[in-house]
Structure formats: structure tokens, C-alpha cells
Amino acid sequence: MSQVPLVVDPEKRLESRSSATHKRFKPSADDEATQFLWATYLDQANNYDKLLLEGWKGDMGGMLLFSALYSAILAPFLIESYPRLQADPADATVAILTQMSQQLASLSNGTTFTSESRPPFEPDTASMVCNTLWFLSLALAITCSLLATFVQQWVRDFLHKTAVRPSPIAKARILAFSYFGLRRFGMHTFVDIIPMLMHISLSFFFAGLVAFLYPINRPLAYLMACILGIFIFVYLGLSCIPLVYLDAPYRTPVSDLIWRFGIMLRGFFLRRHHHTEEPNLTEAMLEASFKDYKERDRQCMKFTMKSLNTDVELLPLLWAIPEAVIRSSTEVRAANLELIAPILRSPDPDENIISRISAFITVSGFSADPERQNMGMETALRALWSLARLVIDHGKKQLSTPNTTTPVLWFDRDLLTTFERLGSAPTSYVISAFALVRTSRLQSFRCYIDAVANKLSTETSNRERLRMAKDVFEGVSFGDIHWTSNLFRQHFSQLGITLRKGHATGISDTRAEELVKDAKGHVSELQSPGRWKAALMFVLGEFLFWTTSLKVIPFEMDLTHDLICDSIPGVFDSEQTVEVEHDEAEVSLLLRNISSFPNDVPEEVFRLVFQLAFSTERALLSRDCRGIVITYLYHMGRIVWPIDLRWDRRNDVGQCILQDIRDSDSQNPSLSVILIRSIYHALPITSLQVPQQLRDFAMQIFELIPKASEQFTQDRWWHSIEAYTEWILCKDILNRLDTSNNDTVPAHDPRLMDDVCSLGRRVFSDDVQTPKYPSSGKADECRKWAEEIKAYVMSINLLMVSKFISINCDTDDPDGRVYMGDWVGMQCWLFNYSGHIFDDVQLQFAKSVRTLGSIWNQPPAARRVFQESIWRLSQHWCWITNVESAKILLEVIRQHKDSRVFFRGWIGHEQELFNRCTELTEKAKAGKDLAEDDLLQ
């Protein structure tokens, strides 16, 4: 047997320690990747544990102090009471002296004295009860002190173990291990028992005090018994009240025992408090706090506003408002209106958030500290903007709900005066907030009018209707009409007069009925969308006027604009135009007063001003407004090409050009012509279809081309615009006709045939007739008609190609620019076409190609795009059937081949065209020689 060495080698000891160290937990790579997850757990767990353990430490510290004082108080009582448990020596001395005196008396009397033995000592019942209770009380108090000391020690040990390792994952696992052990061994219950023992100790003390006083002084003992009874009654009451009313602040350690007993006793407390699970008392209290909380939340908001006395205290609340009421750019947190409404409606200036904001921005607006001023103003104005947005959203829902009787929240008119006094405020926030406040007031005004209408339509007597309507109508005044509308003011005044007449005493039923009818008529006029469109236009005009005048982009400009437009449903409806009176539309002419240069007016601002202008017909009829639009977009096109016109859904820009052509009073015809091209490219033609908006605009231009005055037709770009207009209509016809399949017989569409006839009459001579659909409807005749109509339309297609080639050959643009139009679209329809094309069109195409070839080496260089694309028009060129055209094309191709500078091999399908033209000319020559031989013979 080998012996164990007594001395261990130090190196081996280190090696052993090292191996033991390696056996310890080390986080793996996967564990390290989860450290942030565990860090989140630690944050939450530490918060919970810190509150729990700190609470235990505080409770145990108080328990130690109380038990020490209590034991010190109890000790003198014990010193006084425990001697009653044993015989008193003074009583024995008295007994002996008594016996001696009796013996002496007997001797003097000559009688015999008989001594009696004393009974053994037995303490009285009161002393036994008193001392028993007091000693038990002392023992419990000392036990509580010991247990409290243990709890403090265990808490310190728990905190030390959970903080000994720095790694988040190690710390988290130690914390979880220790906490679940704490729960497993019921330390929560252990801690709850300690104060319960102290309470029992106090009960024993009071009971012992009664027993102590009973043999000494009965009345005093009865008094202490009553106090003991009251103590027990109050203690039980404090224990039971939180079981019935979960929001009660009272609670004793017995409360949890009674709660558990009540749950076991057929779930009494669960049924009372509507719990489906079995929570403990604390969990039940926490769960109850989330039921019926809305009224408490409102009171909290009022208390908060009342407590914030200074601007420094108010600022955090204002900072939190946007997040509380705004969910996203398109949604608000409508549910939170119930939380905010009490401080919006409150008549107390100290509780009303709008009054506080008004006072805040007044003070901040005149602050001597610029940094504080800007920060405070931005925060307050953004909060006000957010509140106005929330109120406007609420108002929209209310206006959309039938039989609305309660007006929406009303912003104080004094707030508008506060805005007007602001000097060097953050302008972008002021403009937006001011606009939404005005919008909210308008919306509220409209809700008051609707409420008056509802009162006039209720099922009651006419006099009662007039009385209720007048009560609602008094919520607004003539001074709230801050926009220009003589018609609105007139009906508003008449409505007020009518309602006051109905409120007079002694009116007859007939007269009341007449007044109700008259009031309904005025209300109907006041509810007209045109009246409210004028009001919102005024707000928009004011909003955009300050935007353009101060050259500043307002806070959330687009969103603010949309909120204003949508605040009253049915007013700014894109599907239909709501007309306004002449005096109401004056604000829409703001467009004529702005700059026509994008550097002065950003595009996003111009769009909003444009939309305001064309919300009525005044801007379209104004030559100045149209001139601003055309000039601005022309300059924009020089910066960005093509310009973005997706926002112009109704094509009002196009209507400006059309109106200029109709009236022949354009301020700058050349810009109008260029803008037509911009619109064509802003609404691009795809390979498969022509947008309906583009097609409609092109058709309107097509109809006006013959009527256009010289100021348009003499422009160098006019003919290219004319050709492109025709091509747009041609491509639309090609898409609807579907000429891609030569075997397809297109269905007869009268509207399509009208478009074909209109275009054909414009581009062809009078000799070319549009094929007519056969009336018989026979298959052979329909197939023949299909071939003819396809040839007709494809001839127009090739004619468009010829026009674009000729136009760009004749261009004299100083910058050497060409206008290709939809060149790819023109090519794609011809590429695989194998049908017939009119001879005259083929000849015109060949001549245009020859013209292009004659200026091959002349500027502009962009013509080379045409020169190279010509040979890609067709894959097989089978639609070239005219011999004269073939000869011209052969001539051009030979010129191209003979050019040493530009010819670098065949381009596209130039070789196929050369072969096709050679074949046609050789056949024609052979036919001519054969004819000449026949003549000779």
C-alpha cells in the first residue's frame, strides 16, 4: 500500500488549484451572446429584489427598536408581578407575631392556646394569569428581536451572493438560484410571521394588565378590559377592511391569513372581487388598481396641473404631451383624450392646460435667456399643436356621428391674442400651432351649429326646441367668425334673432312653429359645405401666407395642411368641387402674390399654395395665377427633369395650359408649350398602357391644336408637341386595339372607332378613308376589316416615326437639343409587325430617313440616336412593299456604308432592310424588263 505524502509539492498544489479553477463556470460564446438579455433580466430583478429586501431590512430595523423599547417597558411590570407567585416573608413574620400575641393573651387569661398549622402557599388565579401572559409576551418580544436580527443577516448575505460575480450571466443565475430558494423555503411567510408574533405579544400584555389590576382595583381593571376589547376590535377591523375594500390603506399580518382562509372557504373573496384565479392579497390589490381607473386618472391629471406651480415644473409635462397623444403621422391616441379632457375643459386656470400653455409661452416669449426661450417655446408650441391635433381628430369623429348633441372641446379665444403678441418665437412652430388652434375653433363652431340643428329636430314642443337651441347657440358669438363670408354672417345673425324671438314669453304655438322652420332654414345654410370650405380656406391662406412671407417651413407642414383640409368632412373632397361665394374665394388668389422661382418658394410649399388656389375656379380664370404656375414649373423643370406632378391628381396644371390656349392670353406662350412636354413626361407612357389622366389631357390638347393662336403655333417646339400628342392618342388606340397578334380579330368598339377616325382625319389626307366595320358581321368580312384597321393604325404609327425624324432634322434649337418623345414605344409596335402599311406613309418614312442621312455628319450629336435607332424599327421589314421607298432606303444605306467616319458595321437590322429593299428593286426591275420585252414582241 502506497503511503500518502505528508507534504504536498507547491507546484502540484498550484496545478491542482488551477484544475479546480478550470472546473468553475465559464460563459461560452453562446452565453456571451445572451449577456444583454440577462442584463435586462437583472435590471428588472434587481429593482424588484431591492425594493423587497430594503423593505424587509426597514421592517426588521423597526421591529428591533420596538421590541427593545417594549421589553424595557415590560420588565418593570414583571418585577412587580412575579413576587406574587411565591410566599411573602413579611406574611410569615406577621403570622408568627400574631401567634405570639395570642399565646401571651392566653397565658394572662389562664387559657390554653392551641396553635394552627398554616396552609401551604398557593398563588391566586389573577397572579397566575397575569404572570403567564406577561412572561409569554416577553418571550415573544425577545424571539421577534432574534428573528429580526436573523432576517437582516440573511438579507445582507443574499445581496452579497448576488453581487459577488461581475459577469451578467453568472450574476443572473446566482440571483435566480438564490431567489427561487428564498421562495421555496417560504421566507416571505417567515418575515410576515415576525410582526404577527409582536402583535400577539402586545395582546398578551394588555390581557395580563387586566389580570394584574383585577385584585387591586376592580374599576380600573374593567377600564383596561374595555381598552383591550377596543384594541382587539380595532385590530380585527383593520385586518378585515382591506379584504372587503381592496383600496383601503389598512392591513395587518392577520389579513393575509383571513384572505387565504376566505379563498379556501368556497372562494368567498374571489367571487366578491370577480377574480378568476387565486391571487394573494397583495396581487389582488394590484389587480384592482387597474379596474375602473379612468376617473382616478382624471383626478391625477387635475392634481398634477394644480401642483405644477412654476414654468420649470410645467416644462416636463409639456414635453410629455406629444408622446402621450400622438401615435404616428397618421394616427392619434384617441383613447388618451379621456385622460387629457379634464385639464382641457377645466374652468380653473390653474388646472386648464391651455391656459397654462398660454401663460407659459407669454412668459417664455419675453425671456431674456435666448436658449431658455427657444427651448420653452418649442416645447410649449409642440404640445399645443399635439393637443389641437387630438381635439381635431375627436371633432372629426363627432361631426361624422349623426345626432351629435355635445360640442367638441373649445380653445379659448384669448389664446389667439397670445399668438398675435408673440415676437421672436420659433416661427415654424407658431405657424403650425396657430393654424391648428384656428382649425379646432372652426370645427367646434361647426359642432355648435350641428348641435343647434339637432335641438331644433328633437321630439318635443316647438317652444322647448327653441329654448334648447338658444342655450346651445349661446356657446358661440359673432366675434368667432373671423373669416370673410357675408352670407355666413348674415344667416348667423338671423339665426340669433330668430332664437331670441322664440325665447320670448307668450308666443303662440303657430308662431313658435314658424320660428322653428325659419331657424332650420338658417341652420341649413350655415351647414352648407361651401360656407365651411371658405372658413378652412381662410385658415389655409393664413397658414401659407406666413409660410411664404417669412420663407420658413412650418413644423409638420404637410401634416398640418392635411389636418386643416380634413377637419370638417365633405368640404375638401377631391371627388367633387364645393363652390364658394365670390367674396369667400378671394383668399385662394394668394398664388398670384408668391415668387415664381423655386429658390424663393420650396416645391412643397408651392404645392400647398397651388392646391389652395385651385380649390375654387378663381385661380383658373386668373391670368396672373396661371402665369405663376407655368413659370414656376418651367423653372422647376430646369432643375429636376422630369418634374413630379403626381400630387396634381386633377391635372389642374394641365387645365392652366388649356385655359391659356383657349383664351390666347398666355403671359409666356413658349413656357406653356414647354410645360406641355413636361406634363407628357411627368405622366409617362409605359410599354403597355397610356395613363387615363395623360390620355384625357392629350385629347384636350388634340382638340385645341386647330384653334391655337399664332403665339403658340409659331413656337419652335409646337410641332414636336403636336406630333407627340398625336402619338399618345395613337398608342392608346394601339393598346386598345391590340395589333400585336395578326390573327386576332378586334372587337367592335364604337368609342375606339371614333378615336381612330378623329386621329386619321388629322394625320391623313381626305382620300384615306377609315375602314368601316361590316354590318353583316360575317367572319370573313370581319377578318378582312381587322386587317384593314390594323394596317390603318400601323400606318399612323409609322407616320409618327416619320414626323419625329423630320422635326428633329429641321430643328434650329441653339442648344442642339432634339425631342425624341416615346421613341422606344414607336419602335416596339413596328418591330414584329408583318401586315400592310400605306404606300404614301412608306414613302414619307423613306424621305425622312434620307433627310436624316443627308445631315449625318452635322450637329446636333443627339441625332445619332435616331440614326442608329432607324435600323432597329423592324426585325424583318416585311411591311416595306413600296418600290420607290425601297430605292430611297437603299440609297441611304449605301451612303451609310460608304461613310468612312460613321460606318462601323451593320447597325441593328440594317442588313435585313438592305436585303428587303434589294429584293423589291430587283423584282421591280425584272418585272419592268419583262414588260418591255412583251412590248417589243
* Amino acid 16: pLDDT: 44
pLDDT at 19: 41
Q: How many residues does the chain have?
A: 937
Q: DSSP assignment, residue 598?
A: T
Q: What is the pLDDT of residues 371-386, one digit of tens each?
A: 777 888 888 899 999 9
Beta bridge partners of 326: 332
> Between these two residues, 40 and 68, which has the higher pLDDT value?
68
pLDDT at 269 (0 to 100): 59
Give me the pLDDT at residue 290, please: 66
| DSSP string across 152-217 | HHHHHHHHHHHTS--SHHHHHHHHHHHHHHHHHTTHHHHHHHHHHHHHHHHHHHHHHHHHHHTTT-
Residue type, 143: T
Rounded alpha-carbon distances, angstroms, from residue 455 to 408, 451, 475, 521: 16, 6, 14, 14
Last residue of a domain, one of 486, 514, 531: 531
Whether residue 8 is contained in a domain is answered as no
**How far is CA 58 from each of CA 53, 103, 227, rounded to the nearest angstrom?**
8, 69, 30
Number of domains making up the chain = 6
Closest CA to 602 of 542, 553, 652, 549: 553
Mean per-residue pLDDT of the chain = 78
Gap between the Cα atoms of 303 and 391, Å rounded = 22
Distance CA 60, CA 65 (A): 9
148 shares a domain with 101: no
Which residue range is the domain that position 101 belongs to? 87-122
pLDDT at 36 over 50: yes
877-913 in b/e burial notation, b at 16+ Cβ within 10 A? bebbebbebbebbbebbeebeeeeebeeeebbbbebb
User: Cell numbers of 906, please?
Assistant: 451593320
Residue 365 and residue 468 in one domain: yes
Distance separating alpha carbons of residues 620 and 623, to the nearest angstrom: 8
Residue 374 lies in a domain: yes
Give the end-to-end CA distance of the chain in Å, rounded to a whole number.
142
Residue 27 lies inside a defined structural domain of this protein:
no
pLDDT tens-digit series, residues 867-899:
677 888 888 899 999 999 999 988 888 887 776
Burial 250-262 (b: 16+ CB within 10 A, else e): ebbbbbbebbeeb
Q: What is the pLDDT of residue 357?
A: 86
What's phi and psi for 921, nearest 5 deg? -65, -40
Question: Is residue 362 included in any domain, yes or no?
Answer: yes
If pLDDT is split at 50, 70 and 90, which confidence band does 832 have? confident
Q: Coil, strand or helix: which one is 509?
A: helix
**pLDDT of res. 812:** 58
What's residue 490's pLDDT? 92
pLDDT band at 700 (very low <50, low <70, confident <90, very high): very high
| Last residue within a domain, chosen from 186, 216, 246 | 216
% of the chain residues with pLDDT over 70: 76
| From 62-71, 114-123, 532-541, the region with the lowest mean pLDDT | 114-123
State the pLDDT at residue 332.
87
Count H helices and E strands in the chain, helices first.
38, 0
pLDDT score recorded for residue 24:
54
At residue 10, the pLDDT reads 42
Q: In this structure, is the dihedral angle defined by the CA atoms of residues 890, 896, 899 and 905, taken in order, positive or negative?
A: negative
Cα–Cα distance list, 673 to 372, 669, 762, 818 (Å): 54, 6, 20, 15
Give the pLDDT of residue 606: 93
The pLDDT of residue 288: 67
Nearest by Cα to 442 from 478, 480, 474: 480
Low-confidence winner among 76-80, 365-369, 390-394, 677-681 (lowest mean pLDDT): 365-369
Q: What Cα–Cα distance (Å) separates residue 381 from each residue in 347, 351, 441, 650?
A: 21, 18, 17, 35
> Cell for 162?
448576488
Q: Within this chain, do residues 700 and 745 fall inside the same structural domain, yes or no?
A: no
pLDDT, tens digit, for every residue of 418-446?
776 666 577 888 899 999 999 999 999 99
Q: Work out the average pLDDT over 800-825.
A: 72
207 and 112 share a domain? no
pLDDT single digits (tens) 446-475:
988 988 998 898 888 888 899 999 988 888
Residues 285 and 316 in one domain: no
User: Mean pLDDT lowest for which of 10-14, 155-159, 345-349?
Assistant: 10-14
Task: Give the pLDDT mean for 658-686.
Answer: 85
The dihedral of CA 808, 813, 817, 820: what is its sign? negative
Strand-pairing partners, residue 332, are 326
Q: Are 282 and 273 within 8 A, CB to CB?
A: no
Tally Cβ neighbours within 10 Å of residue 362.
13
Of 134-138, 363-367, 580-584, 851-855, the range with the highest mean pLDDT is 580-584
Q: Is the pLDDT of residue 557 over 90?
A: yes
Give the cell for residue 186. 417560504
Do 757 and 622 sit in the same domain of this protein? no
Radius of gyration, CA atoms only, the chain: 50
> Given this model, what pLDDT does residue 929 score?
64
* 423 lies in the same domain as 323: yes
Neighbour-count burial for 316-334, b at 16+ CB within 10 Å, e otherwise: ebbeebbeebbeeeeebbe
Q: Smallest Cα–Cα separation from 727: which of 824, 839, 599?
A: 824
**Does a structural domain hold residue 811?**
yes
Q: Which of 504, 499, 494 is nearest to 516 (CA)?
A: 499
Residues 675 and 774 in one domain: no
In this predicted model, which residue has the larger pLDDT, 710 or 246? 710
State yes or no: pLDDT of 252 exceeds 60.
yes
Domain boundary, last residue among 481, 513, 531: 531
263 neighbors 225 (Cβ within 8 angstroms): no
What share of the chain has pLDDT > 90, as a percent?
A: 14
Using alpha carbons only, what angle is made at residue 836 by residues 833 and 842, rounded to the nearest 5 degrees? 95
- 490 and 360 in one domain? yes
Is residue 221 one of the residues assigned to a domain?
A: no
Claim to verify: residue 673 and residue 818 sit in the same structural domain: no
Residues 819 and 834 in one domain: yes
At 937 the pLDDT is 54
Q: Note whether residue 96 is domain-resident.
A: yes
Q: Angle at which helices 35-81 and 168-184 pack, to 10 degrees?
A: 40
* Spatial separation of the C-alpha atoms in residues 430 and 441, rounded to whole Å: 16
Q: What is the pLDDT of residues 267-317, one digit of tens each?
A: 665 666 656 566 666 666 667 666 777 777 778 788 888 888 877 788 888
Same domain, 242 and 185: no
Query: What 3-state class would DSSP assign to 476?
Result: coil
Is residue 437 exposed (0-12), middle (13-18) or buried (19+ Cβ within 10 Å)? buried
Residue 11 placed within a domain: no
